[in-house]
Structure formats: C-alpha cells, structure tokens
Chain A
Amino acid sequence: MTMPGNSAPAALHAPIDARDRPPSSVYGPVAWMRANLFNGWLSSGVTILFGYLIIRAAIGFVDWGFLNAIWTVPALPNGNPDPATCRAVRGTGACWAAVGDKWRFITFGRYPYDQQWRPGICIALFLSLYVMSAMRQFWRKELAFIWLGILTLIGVLMWGGVLGLRYVPQDEWGGLPITLILATFGLAFAFPLAVFVALGRRSTQMPAVKLICVLYVELIRGVPLVALLFMASVMLPLFLPSGMNIDKLLRAQIAIILFVGAYVAEVIRGGLQALPKGQAEAADALGLSYWQKTMRITLPQALRLVIPPLVNTFIGFFKDTSLVLIIGIFDLLTSGKTAMSDPTWQGSSTEIYIVMAIVYFGFCFAMSTYSRSVERKLDSAHNR
C-alpha cells in the first residue's frame, strides 16, 4: 500500500481508496464486535444472555418510568392534588407527580414556605464553596477566609433575625441544607483536628500524646457511626452541667466531627508516612523548628499526596450523614421519608427514593470524578 510518489501533500489528504482500507475482519465495527463481544462461544453466549436481560430491563424501566408514568395530576376542588390517576397505574407506571408535588418539602423540609429562598441560596453558596475549593488557583491562605465568610453568611441566612430576615429556629430547618451543613461543617472542623491527631500519632518525642491519639483513633474507628450518634444524643446531655442543653443537630454534628476526624487522621498519617524521610531530615539539618518543619515542609507535601484518598473519605462521609435519620434529624433522607408518609402519595416511595438516590449520586459522582482527575494530574507530575 504505497502512496503515489510525487504529489505527496495532495495524496495524503485524498480519501483512501476502498481497496486500501484494511479488511473488515481486522478493522471497523464488525471486527470490534467480534473481538470484544463474540470472542468464542462462551463469550457470545454471555453477551447474548446479558444483552437480552439488559434490553428487557431497559424496556421495563422505560415503560414504568416514562411511558406509563403519571407526570401531573389534576387538583381536587379543595386545592389538594388528586392521586386517583396515580393509584390507577400502581405497579405498572411511576407516579412522578408525587415528586413534583413534594419536591419543595424534600429539599427544604419544614422551613417556612415563603422563606425557602434562603436555604435555596445556601445550597448555591455551598456548591460554589465546593467548586472553589476544588480549583487549584484558589489553593492559598485566603481560601480559609472564604470558607469562614461563606459559612457565616450561610448561618445568617438560615437563622435570620438580622438584616430584616425573619428568625427561623433551628428545629424548623431540614432537607438538603441540613445534609450539606452536616457534611461541610463536619469537614471544616474535623480537618484541623485530624491534622493534629495525625501529627500526634507520629510523634516520637511525646509518648503520652501519641497514646491519646492512638486511643482516640482506634476507639472511634472500632464502633459504628450509628452507635456514636446514639451516644451523642444520649450521653452529651449527661456530660454537661444540669440545665445546660445543646440541641440535637449540634450533638449529631459533634459526633460526626469526632467520627470523620479519626478517619481523616489515618489518611493524613498515611501521607506523612509515604513522604521520603530525607525531607524531614533536610529540614532538621537546616535548623528549622518542629512547627516550621511541619507547616512548611512535610505537611504540605503529605496533604498533596493524599488528596485522592481524602476525597474518597469525604465521599464516604457525605453518604454517612444520611445516618442521622436514625436519631431523627431532618436531613435530605429524613425529609424524603417524611414526604412518603403523606397519605395522598402512599405507595410512591420508590419514586422518591430514586430521586434522592440521584441527588446523592450526583454529589458523590462529582467528587469521585474530581478525585480521579487529581490522581491523574499527580501521577503525571510524578512521572515527569
């Protein structure tokens, strides 16, 4: 297959003749299918079986979720939605009208209806905070102040009571903002705690501090979060002087901070261990003090190393905030479950669960995609 010699540039861009193409047995969709789908009788059998199952499941889902689904329902004379059409298709079609009717409740919980723009803005603020923290050009000291500023702003918006905003007590909050608050504040407080615990656990000079850190990490990691949450909701009031009371959300938040702190500490410790010893020795040789060495040499490098596992820990813990359902805190999952108990929409639980699963999936998938891209960047930086 040699090109006609003289007028090379024109010939290179000319369409390749059909006879010059590789035969379809080694190139093209048919060859691809033969290599990847029908490579031997076992492979072909499996492909056909699973292909059939997938197509059947897909047809079933499209029938249920789209073709037979009810998207809106007419209103009753008293203004409430009429679920009769939904009940008629029970089992054969989805009732997305339930989600359409309940989405404000699922998202914002029992927050006063006319004030729900405030938690709405809070969700947007949280999202912009995450996006900013993920971008490299923001990885500087000012980021801490941005966090502080945005978290304060969120507190002002949620509580109100100033700037002409109506005061909304904390037990009326609910839905997605609570999930984001638990996750974000949990991270913001657990992270510094984890750094200190990781440093303490690696300390060679202070055995007492090391022992305390080891005990803390191992005790917390040994028990399930559910038990910790129960503990926090029952024990914390006992620990405080009588008469002093802290609310349920704060108790759960403390339990989550302690829980996440232990796991993140282990991740950071892994990063510190992975760092070549020469870095610390060089810093010692330069005569840097312990804190100079840690803050300027070892910790920044260790944290860079552990970004991917750190993000994976955060994904796990973002999902775990849903466990507060068990102690009755009104997060996204709890408000969804409460919405399901509405007698009007009885039997539409699956639809609501699916929508909530999509919301959680969106957050976690974004984080894991980000973690993978950082990993690739770090890898390419190492391989240079």
Chain B
Amino acid sequence: MSSTFDPRLANARIAPKRGIRLSWSDPKFRNIIFQILIVSALGLAIWYVAHNTQRNLEIQRVATGFGFLGRTAGIPIGEALVPYDPAVNTYGRALVVGLLNTLKVAVIGIVLSTILGTIVGICRLSKNWLISRISAVYVETLRDIPVLLQLLLWYTLLQGLPAPRQAINIGDAVFLSNRGLKMPLIEWQDAHWWTLAAFVLGALGTLAWNRTALRQRDETGKKPPVWPAALGLMVLLPVLVWASLGAPFAIEYPALRGFNFSGGGIISPEYFALLLGLTIYTSAYIAEIVRSGIQAVPRGQWEAAGALGLRQGAVLRLIVLPQATRVIIPPMTSQYLNITKNSSLAVAIGFQDVVSLSQTTLNQTGQAIEGVAIVMAVFLTISLSISLFMNWYNARIALTER
C-alpha cells in the first residue's frame, strides 16, 4: 500500500502471516484463553455482587434511582455560596452547595499553596544559611505529620481563640474570635456587577491588545507599549461605569450583637482551619517540587545569565523559573489533585463539602449506591479537568524541539 519502495526488501522473504493455531503451544491462543478466563471471572464476580446488592436492597426496601435528589433535604448547612434553605431546598441543591464548597477550598487552596510553596522552595536554595535552614525544617516537619492531625490541631487552636466579646480587634474592622474571622464587606449592588463586567471586558481587551503588540514586535522589532491600554481598559473603564451608575459605595462593618457578630463577611473557623491545614501541608510538597525543578536547570544557565549582567532576581524570574516550570508542572499536577482530594477531610472538622453532604444524604435516605456514584462522578470530573488543564498548559510551555 505504501508508495515508497525499499530496495532492501526486494528479495526479502516476508514472514507469512499465520492465523491462530488451536494449540496450547501457540502463545496467541494461550493469551486469548487467559483473557477469556480473567474477564469471565471478573464478570461473574460483578454479577454476584450485583445480585447480592439487589437482594439486600429489596430486603431493606430501598428504591434505587436518583429520585431522592428532588426531595426536600432538611439538612442544615452552615455556609453556602448559593442561597439554601433546608426547609425548602432539595437534596440535589444541598449536593450542589457541597460541590461549590469543595471547589471553594480546592481552588483557593491551590492558589495559596502554590504561592507559599514557591516562596519556601526558593528560600530553601537561598544563600542565607538561616533562611535555607528554616525552609528545610518547615518542609521536613510538615511532610512527616498526617494532614488530618494538622487540620485537627489548627481547628483546636482556632477554637481556643477568645469568644466574640473578647475578640482580637484589628482597627475596629476585623475581628478574630472562636466564631471565625469577621471582616468588613462592601454592600453589593447591581452597579458593582456592571463594574465587574467592565473590568473583565477590559482585561480581555488588554489581552487582545497585548497579542497585537507581540505580533507587531515580531514584524517590526518594536513593541508598542501595553500599559496605556491596560490602564485605560482595566482601571478607567470600570471606574467610569461605576461613576456613571451613581458611584454607590458603602461598607458594612461587623458589629457585636449579643453573643456573636452580625453584618460583614465571615470566614468560618471550619473553613479557615481546612484552608490553613491543606495549604500549609501541600506547600511543603510544592516547595520540594519547586526546589528540585530549579536545581534541574543546568548551572550554566545561571552563569550565562550572570555573565550577561542580569541581577540575581532577574535571572531567577526570566531565565531559571521558566525553564524549571517544565520540570515542575507534572508533579505539581498531582499535588493539585491531592489538595482537591484532601479537601474531603472537611468531614473531620465539620465543614460541609460534597463528601460530607453526600454522606448525610446517604444516611438519611439509604441511597448508598447513588450517593457513592455521585461522589465518584464529582471527583473523577474534577480530577480529569485538572489533569486536562495541566496537560494543556504543559504542552503549551513544552520545549519546541526542531
């Protein structure tokens, strides 16, 4: 079929393609028999399990199916990103609230632990002996203590904070007590949504302008400045929109009423402990990844950049870190997956994430299989999306070899 002809093959005898002999001495035949045996054994086991499950569910009088998602839940949820009322809303909505809580921990945890981990990783390579020692002790200690124990310890420490009446008061605006961290919040109005929209639009515009500028640089060798566009689109435009809508601006301060604070925004102790524990634990791993990534960059790169007259910080930022990123991304992906999976430890300190809420749902309805299926589906989807995104990013920054 191929159009090219290899002259060496002119007189070569091509091994005859033979079929499968029905004999035990034929490895192909043996392989097929083994596979049939293994697959049918597995099938039999699955059938047996399914059969037992069906019988057991019949005995327990549990109806299978996802119908329970439409029923009223009645599970009180401490913090929810979307409006939720246990008396009205359904199990389905409760699970969505849980999913959003999981994402809230995972996304913010990933961002914070990347920042902290990168700083600690770079500090470990510092020429300052004290700084590199502190980072080493930080990494070695935190990696060898179970994350659950760390979470529980943080939670206990946060619970040991003073009661709201004796809260630690920072400038009469931020209050730290055993009920969490209270802080002032802008009273959110429609005008703010428009301002936000203008900002997003401006950011997109700046990106587009940046691409044009880069193309122009490739063609003419000169890059037109980007900062005026950025200033105009991302700062002036939102401010104009905000001003034209009457410039509403009011800050709601938390105030002590009775035994607790009211008004303002809150970070609950559960969420705070979870975020703190996960961030600190994962940052120790990320620090090691960053350190080994930087060390994987050949010394010659440092020396060549130094010979060009770049400062230490510029060498790190412009030469070393971009190259280290290629080594760093794959193990970093698995740390991001870990932080997402570890967010399920929320159960232990009473933060209601998707695992905790599906567990409550499961206990109330007895829908074990459906509950488990939902949790698996959620985590497999999140894991897959993170992997896909990181693979895309990895492919984008990968060295183009010619």
Contacts and interface: CB of A to CB of B under 8 A. Distances in A.
A282 interface: no
Interface in B135-157: 140-141, 143-150, 152-153, 156-157
Contact of A230 (B27, B359, B384): B359
B141 A361 contact: yes
A365 B42 CA distance: 40
B147 A227 contact: no
B345 A235 contact: no
Interface string A301-325: 0000000000000010001101101
A337 B355 contact: no
Q: How large is the interface on A (under 10, 10 to 19, 20 to 34, 35 or more residues)?
A: 35 or more
Contacts of B359: 230
A373 interface: no
B162 to A, nearest CB: 10
Given A37-B130, A239-B52, A350-B157, A222 B149 contact: no
A333 B146 contact: yes
B61 interface: no
A36 B376 contact: no
A238 B54 CA distance: 8
Interface stretch (B14-22, B30-38, B224-232): B30-38
B379 A333 contact: no
A207 B32 CA distance: 10
B55 interface: yes
A326 B128 contact: no
Contacts of A240: 52
A226 B140 contact: no
Contacts of B375: 223, 227, 230
Contacts of B368: 234-235, 238
B35 A350 contact: no
B7 to A, nearest CB: 28
A206 B143 CA distance: 40
Given A46-B128, A208-B35, A333-B149, A224 B156 contact: no
B112 interface: no
A47 B128 CA distance: 8
| A337, A350, A357: most-surrounded residue (chain B CB, <10 A) | A357
A29 B154 CA distance: 39
Main secondary structure of the interface of A (DSSP, over half): helix
A260 to B, nearest CB: 15
Contact of A349 (B31, B42, B156): B156
B344 interface: yes
B296 interface: no
B295 to A, nearest CB: 15
Contacts of A333: 146, 148-149, 152
Nearest to B379: A223
Given A47-B130, A230-B372, A222 B383 contact: yes
Contacts of B150: 357
A368 interface: yes
B131 interface: yes
B243 interface: no
A241 B56 CA distance: 7
Contact of B128 (A39, A223, A322): A39
B52 A238 contact: yes
A295 to B, nearest CB: 17
A222 B144 contact: no
Contacts of A242: 52, 55-56, 59
A227 B102 CA distance: 13
A51 interface: yes
Contact of A360 (B28, B131, B145, B371): B145
Contacts of B355: 224, 226-227, 230
Contact of A353 (B56, B140, B152, B376): B152
Interface in B118-142: 127-131, 134, 140-141
Interface string A22-36: 000000000000001
A336 to B, nearest CB: 9
A212 B42 CA distance: 9
B52 A241 contact: yes
Interface in B24-52: 27-28, 31, 34-35, 38-39, 42, 49, 52
Contacts of B35: 206-209
A222 B31 contact: no
A240 B51 CA distance: 9
A224 B149 contact: no
Contact of A43 (B128, B144, B384): B128
- Listed from nearest, the 6 A-B pairs whose CB atoms lie closest are A364-B144, A224-B341, A36-B129, A319-B146, A224-B344, A226-B344
Interface of A: 36-37, 39, 43, 46-47, 50-51, 54, 205-209, 212, 219, 221-227, 230-231, 234-235, 237-242, 315, 319-320, 322-323, 325-326, 333, 337, 349-350, 353-354, 356-357, 360-361, 364-365, 368
11 contacts: A205-B31, A223-B375, A223-B379, A225-B341, A226-B347, A227-B372, A230-B372, A319-B144, A326-B347, A333-B146, A360-B145
Given A224-B343, A368-B143, 11 more contacts: A50-B130, A54-B134, A205-B28, A230-B362, A230-B375, A241-B55, A322-B146, A322-B149, A325-B348, A350-B153, A360-B145
